[in-house]
Amino acid sequence: GAVVSQHPSRVICKSGTSVKIECRSLDFQATTMFWYRQFPKQSLMLMATSNEGSKATYEQGVEKDKFLINHASLTLSTLTVTSAHPEDSSFYICSARENWISSYEQYFGPGTRLTVT
Amino acid sequence: SQKIEQNSEALNIQEGKTATLTCNYTNYSPAYLQWYRQDPGRGPVFLLLIRENEKEKRKERLKVTFDTTLKQSLFHITASQPADSATYLCALAGSSNTGKLIFGQGTTLQVKP
């Protein structure tokens, strides 16, 4: 099946610094990728839709200037958490869909655990 | 507002029995519904997808039903095994095929040997 990777798997950073998380589709091309955040014991919350070659679409309440998304190629999307604060500590997960119109399945990455100290 | 409810209490069953998990939704007309498995500290893994015009879908020991009148999906695991222990998430998607999913909070299944 389709594989999505994320890097790093976990990162600890100091408050005020920026962190970049990569999401790659390894064996398929993905025009669209999605970024989710999951707090402990809670569900996945969609943060933004990442579109290759265009600006990301952010969900209501998600600060686009804080969570910068770049989707520069059909296999790579990056999420940069800028000026991170302890409340940004969470589990960040990306997903991708294959590039054919009748594909509804999404493949998720293994997630990135961000801890801001 | 759109709401998806899964039983937040953990489901404990004996190995070999059938596990049944419920997903109810309100204020939404999904084009399709998906079920995922999530292990601790890992991303969700896709299990099954069922469309609005389908009543039932099967895959090996898994079965999903979708009742758009009741606004409910049931997820069954037959002949459950301890390895089936995980959190199971249901996710709904609208008809615009944007791919945007709304997730339930998940139900944790514990299968005891």
DSSP A45-109: EEEEEEETTS--EEPTT--TTTEEEEEEETTEEEEEE-S--GGG-EEEEEEEE-SSTT---EEE-
Kindly tell me if the per-residue pLDDT of B96 is higher than 70: no
Residue type, A66: K
Verify whether the Cβ–Cβ distance A34 to B106 is below 8 Å: no
For residue B3, name the pLDDT band (cuts at 50, 70, 90).
confident
- Chain A interface disruption, residue of B1, B5, B25, B46, most A CBs within 10 A: B46
Closest by Cβ to A108, choosing from B41, B44, B105: B44
The pairing of beta strand A106-108 with beta strand B62-67:
unpaired
Q: Which tens digits make up the pLDDT trace of B5-60?
A: 998 789 999 999 999 999 999 988 888 899 999 999 999 999 999 998 999 999 99
**Cβ within 8 Å, pair A107-B46:** yes
Q: What is the pLDDT of residues B62-95, one digit of tens each?
A: 999 999 999 999 999 999 999 999 999 999 987 6
Chain B interface, best mutation among A58, A99, A104, by max B CB count within 10 A: A104
User: Could you tell me the sign of the dihedral formed by the alpha carbons of A26, B45, B3, A99, in that order?
Assistant: positive
Sort out which chain B residues have CB atoms less than 8 A from A97's CB and list them. Answer: 99
What's the CA gap between A62 and B100, in Å, rounded?
Answer: 15
The answer to whether the beta carbons of residues A98 and A105 sit under 8 Å apart is: yes
CB–CB of B43 and A105 under 8 A? no
pLDDT at site A5: 96
Which member of B42, B102, B105 has the closest CB to residue A42? B105
| β-sheet bridge partners, residue B36 | B46, B89
Q: What is the pLDDT along chain A (117 residues), one digit of tens a residue?
A: 689 999 999 999 999 999 999 999 998 888 889 999 999 888 899 999 998 888 899 999 999 999 999 998 889 999 999 999 999 999 999 999 876 655 677 899 999 999 999
Q: What does the pLDDT average to over B90-112?
A: 88
User: How far, in Å, are A32, A48, A62, A78 from residue A19 at the CA level?
Assistant: 22, 17, 17, 10
